[in-house]
A and B are shown apart, each in its own frame.
Chain A
Amino acid sequence: KAGVTQTPRYLIKTRGQQVTLSCSPISGHRSVSWYQQTPGQGLQFLFEYFSETQRNKGNFPGRFSGRQFSNSRSEMNVSTLELGDSALYLCASSLEVGLQETQYFGPGTRLLVL
Protein backbone atom coordinates (compact mmCIF):
# COMPACT_ATOMS: atom_id res chain seq x y z
CA LYS A 1 0.00 0.00 0.00
CA ALA A 2 1.42 3.39 -0.98
CA GLY A 3 2.24 5.79 1.82
CA VAL A 4 1.23 9.40 2.24
CA THR A 5 2.41 11.50 -0.67
CA GLN A 6 2.95 15.24 -0.69
CA THR A 7 3.52 17.55 -3.60
CA PRO A 8 5.56 19.48 -4.33
CA ARG A 9 8.52 18.35 -2.23
CA TYR A 10 10.30 21.68 -2.45
CA LEU A 11 9.02 25.14 -3.13
CA ILE A 12 10.47 28.65 -3.18
CA LYS A 13 8.17 31.65 -2.92
CA THR A 14 8.54 35.34 -2.17
CA ARG A 15 6.88 37.38 0.55
CA GLY A 16 3.30 38.30 -0.21
CA GLN A 17 2.68 35.37 -2.53
CA GLN A 18 0.38 32.50 -1.76
CA VAL A 19 1.06 28.78 -1.92
CA THR A 20 -0.99 25.61 -2.16
CA LEU A 21 0.35 22.29 -0.94
CA SER A 22 -1.19 18.95 -1.71
CA CYS A 23 -1.47 15.72 0.25
CA SER A 24 -2.74 12.32 -0.80
CA PRO A 25 -3.48 10.06 2.17
CA ILE A 26 -2.98 6.33 2.40
CA SER A 27 -5.75 4.55 0.53
CA GLY A 28 -8.71 4.06 2.85
CA HIS A 29 -7.64 6.73 5.32
CA ARG A 30 -10.27 9.38 5.79
CA SER A 31 -8.50 11.82 8.10
CA VAL A 32 -5.76 14.21 7.03
CA SER A 33 -3.83 16.44 9.39
CA TRP A 34 -1.34 19.17 8.62
CA TYR A 35 1.67 20.23 10.65
CA GLN A 36 4.37 22.86 10.41
CA GLN A 37 7.91 22.04 11.50
CA THR A 38 10.59 24.70 11.99
CA PRO A 39 13.93 24.71 13.80
CA GLY A 40 12.72 27.47 16.08
CA GLN A 41 9.24 26.27 17.00
CA GLY A 42 9.49 22.56 16.40
CA LEU A 43 6.43 20.65 15.28
CA GLN A 44 3.10 22.46 15.46
CA PHE A 45 -0.38 21.29 14.54
CA LEU A 46 -2.30 23.24 11.92
CA PHE A 47 -5.60 21.43 11.36
CA GLU A 48 -7.30 18.10 10.78
CA TYR A 49 -9.87 17.27 8.15
CA PHE A 50 -12.25 14.33 8.09
CA SER A 51 -15.06 13.75 5.61
CA GLU A 52 -14.34 17.13 4.01
CA THR A 53 -14.87 18.96 7.32
CA GLN A 54 -12.33 20.58 9.59
CA ARG A 55 -12.47 18.69 12.87
CA ASN A 56 -9.54 20.05 14.84
CA LYS A 57 -7.64 23.28 14.56
CA GLY A 58 -4.35 24.56 15.92
CA ASN A 59 -3.38 28.08 16.80
CA PHE A 60 -2.41 29.56 13.44
CA PRO A 61 -3.64 32.77 11.80
CA GLY A 62 -6.36 32.75 9.18
CA ARG A 63 -3.75 33.00 6.42
CA PHE A 64 -3.43 29.25 6.85
CA SER A 65 -6.37 27.34 5.47
CA GLY A 66 -7.13 23.92 4.17
CA ARG A 67 -9.70 21.75 2.57
CA GLN A 68 -10.41 18.11 1.91
CA PHE A 69 -11.96 16.58 -1.15
CA SER A 70 -14.40 13.69 -1.40
CA ASN A 71 -11.54 11.31 -2.21
CA SER A 72 -9.85 12.36 1.09
CA ARG A 73 -7.07 14.20 -0.68
CA SER A 74 -6.30 17.47 1.04
CA GLU A 75 -4.76 20.80 0.23
CA MET A 76 -3.50 23.54 2.47
CA ASN A 77 -3.11 27.14 1.41
CA VAL A 78 -1.02 29.89 2.90
CA SER A 79 -1.79 33.39 1.71
CA THR A 80 0.32 36.52 1.98
CA LEU A 81 3.45 34.58 2.77
CA GLU A 82 5.84 35.85 5.40
CA LEU A 83 9.50 34.97 5.91
CA GLY A 84 8.53 33.09 9.06
CA ASP A 85 6.38 30.70 7.04
CA SER A 86 9.53 29.02 5.78
CA ALA A 87 9.19 25.52 7.14
CA LEU A 88 8.68 21.86 6.48
CA TYR A 89 4.95 21.25 6.07
CA LEU A 90 3.94 17.73 6.97
CA CYS A 91 0.76 15.92 6.19
CA ALA A 92 -0.41 12.86 8.08
CA SER A 93 -3.30 10.51 7.47
CA SER A 94 -5.21 8.14 9.71
CA LEU A 95 -8.18 5.83 9.36
CA GLU A 96 -10.46 7.74 11.68
CA VAL A 97 -10.77 11.25 13.01
CA GLY A 98 -8.88 12.33 16.10
CA LEU A 99 -5.30 13.21 16.87
CA GLN A 100 -5.06 10.12 19.11
CA GLU A 101 -5.44 7.91 16.07
CA THR A 102 -2.26 6.41 14.66
CA GLN A 103 -1.09 8.88 12.07
CA TYR A 104 1.17 8.14 9.15
CA PHE A 105 3.26 11.06 7.97
CA GLY A 106 4.34 11.99 4.50
CA PRO A 107 7.85 13.21 3.67
CA GLY A 108 6.78 16.85 3.79
CA THR A 109 6.97 19.88 1.55
CA ARG A 110 9.86 22.18 2.29
CA LEU A 111 8.81 25.77 1.71
CA LEU A 112 11.31 28.60 1.54
CA VAL A 113 9.99 32.14 1.56
CA LEU A 114 12.39 34.80 0.31
Chain B
Amino acid sequence: GESVGLHLPTLSVQEGDNSIINCAYSNSASDYFIWYKQESGKGPQFIIDIRSNMDKRQGQRVTVLLNKTVKHLSLQIAATQPGDSAVYFCAEILSGGYQKVTFGTGTKLQVIP
Protein backbone atom coordinates (compact mmCIF):
# COMPACT_ATOMS: atom_id res chain seq x y z
CA GLY B 1 0.00 0.00 0.00
CA GLU B 2 0.94 3.63 -0.03
CA SER B 3 3.27 4.97 2.59
CA VAL B 4 1.79 7.22 5.22
CA GLY B 5 2.56 10.82 4.41
CA LEU B 6 4.37 13.12 6.74
CA HIS B 7 1.98 14.95 9.04
CA LEU B 8 3.37 18.42 8.77
CA PRO B 9 2.93 20.68 11.77
CA THR B 10 0.80 23.66 10.85
CA LEU B 11 1.20 27.22 12.01
CA SER B 12 -1.82 29.46 11.53
CA VAL B 13 -1.12 33.18 11.68
CA GLN B 14 -3.29 36.22 11.22
CA GLU B 15 -2.31 38.44 8.31
CA GLY B 16 -0.07 41.22 9.56
CA ASP B 17 1.22 39.29 12.55
CA ASN B 18 4.74 37.94 12.86
CA SER B 19 5.43 34.24 12.26
CA ILE B 20 8.08 32.12 13.90
CA ILE B 21 8.92 28.76 12.39
CA ASN B 22 11.27 26.45 14.24
CA CYS B 23 13.64 23.72 13.21
CA ALA B 24 15.78 21.36 15.24
CA TYR B 25 18.86 20.16 13.42
CA SER B 26 20.79 17.02 14.09
CA ASN B 27 24.50 17.52 13.60
CA SER B 28 26.44 19.95 15.78
CA ALA B 29 29.20 19.99 13.15
CA SER B 30 26.91 21.35 10.42
CA ASP B 31 28.41 24.57 9.16
CA TYR B 32 25.72 26.04 6.99
CA PHE B 33 21.94 26.35 7.24
CA ILE B 34 19.28 27.34 4.73
CA TRP B 35 15.58 28.06 4.93
CA TYR B 36 13.37 27.18 1.96
CA LYS B 37 9.78 28.00 1.08
CA GLN B 38 7.75 25.61 -1.04
CA GLU B 39 4.40 26.57 -2.43
CA SER B 40 1.95 23.96 -3.61
CA GLY B 41 2.94 22.50 -6.97
CA LYS B 42 6.28 24.28 -7.08
CA GLY B 43 9.87 23.53 -6.27
CA PRO B 44 11.50 24.91 -3.12
CA GLN B 45 12.60 28.52 -3.12
CA PHE B 46 15.64 29.81 -1.24
CA ILE B 47 14.72 32.32 1.47
CA ILE B 48 17.76 32.97 3.62
CA ASP B 49 20.91 31.26 4.81
CA ILE B 50 23.25 31.50 7.75
CA ARG B 51 26.72 30.20 8.51
CA SER B 52 27.43 28.40 11.74
CA ASN B 53 29.70 31.21 12.96
CA MET B 54 26.74 33.58 13.06
CA ASP B 55 23.80 33.86 15.46
CA LYS B 56 21.48 35.99 13.42
CA ARG B 57 20.96 37.13 9.88
CA GLN B 58 18.32 39.43 8.50
CA GLY B 59 16.77 39.69 5.08
CA GLN B 60 13.77 41.45 3.72
CA ARG B 61 10.98 40.75 6.27
CA VAL B 62 12.78 37.59 7.37
CA THR B 63 15.26 36.87 10.14
CA VAL B 64 17.04 33.61 10.85
CA LEU B 65 18.30 32.84 14.34
CA LEU B 66 20.78 30.09 15.09
CA ASN B 67 21.25 28.61 18.56
CA LYS B 68 24.08 26.13 18.34
CA THR B 69 23.88 25.25 22.02
CA VAL B 70 20.54 23.54 21.54
CA LYS B 71 20.88 22.91 17.80
CA HIS B 72 17.91 25.06 16.97
CA LEU B 73 17.14 27.25 14.00
CA SER B 74 14.23 29.62 13.63
CA LEU B 75 12.77 31.69 10.83
CA GLN B 76 10.90 34.84 11.70
CA ILE B 77 8.64 36.44 9.12
CA ALA B 78 7.52 39.97 9.89
CA ALA B 79 4.07 41.26 8.92
CA THR B 80 2.99 37.93 7.46
CA GLN B 81 1.11 38.17 4.17
CA PRO B 82 -1.21 35.72 2.39
CA GLY B 83 1.54 35.09 -0.15
CA ASP B 84 3.66 33.68 2.66
CA SER B 85 1.36 30.65 2.92
CA ALA B 86 3.53 27.65 2.06
CA VAL B 87 5.58 24.84 3.56
CA TYR B 88 8.84 26.02 5.10
CA PHE B 89 11.74 23.73 5.81
CA CYS B 90 15.28 24.08 6.95
CA ALA B 91 18.39 22.40 5.62
CA GLU B 92 21.70 21.77 7.38
CA ILE B 93 24.89 21.29 5.41
CA LEU B 94 27.96 19.49 6.64
CA SER B 95 31.14 20.11 4.70
CA GLY B 96 33.62 17.36 4.07
CA GLY B 97 34.94 15.21 1.27
CA TYR B 98 31.38 15.05 0.10
CA GLN B 99 29.04 17.66 1.45
CA LYS B 100 26.05 16.25 3.28
CA VAL B 101 22.70 18.03 3.34
CA THR B 102 19.80 17.06 5.56
CA PHE B 103 16.37 18.62 5.28
CA GLY B 104 13.82 19.12 8.01
CA THR B 105 10.35 17.74 7.54
CA GLY B 106 8.78 21.15 7.16
CA THR B 107 6.13 23.37 8.70
CA LYS B 108 3.01 24.46 6.90
CA LEU B 109 2.27 28.15 7.36
CA GLN B 110 -1.35 29.20 6.90
CA VAL B 111 -2.04 32.91 6.80
CA ILE B 112 -5.54 33.89 7.79
CA PRO B 113 -6.71 36.98 5.89
Contact = CB atoms under 8 A, between A and B. Distances in A.
Answer yes or no: do A and B interact: yes
A91 B104 CA distance: 18
A4 B106 CA distance: 23
Nearest to A97: B99
A39 interface: yes
Contacts of A40: 3-6
Contact of B43 (A39, A42, A48, A108): A108
A102 interface: yes
B37 to A, nearest CB: 11
A105 B5 contact: no
A39 B99 contact: no
A43 interface: yes
A42 B93 contact: no
B43 A107 contact: yes
Nearest to A40: B3
Contact residues on B (Cβ < 8 Å of other chain), bracket = 20 to 34
In terms of DSSP, what is the predominant structure of the interface of chain B?
loop
Q: Which of the four size classes fits the interface of chain A?
A: 20 to 34
A51 interface: no
Contacts of A38: 3
B103 A44 contact: yes
Given A39-B3, A45-B101, A100-B32, A92 B93 contact: no
22 contacts: A4-B43, A39-B4, A40-B5, A42-B6, A43-B44, A43-B103, A44-B103, A45-B100, A45-B101, A48-B99, A58-B100, A98-B99, A99-B32, A99-B99, A100-B32, A100-B99, A102-B49, A103-B46, A104-B46, A105-B42, A105-B43, A106-B43
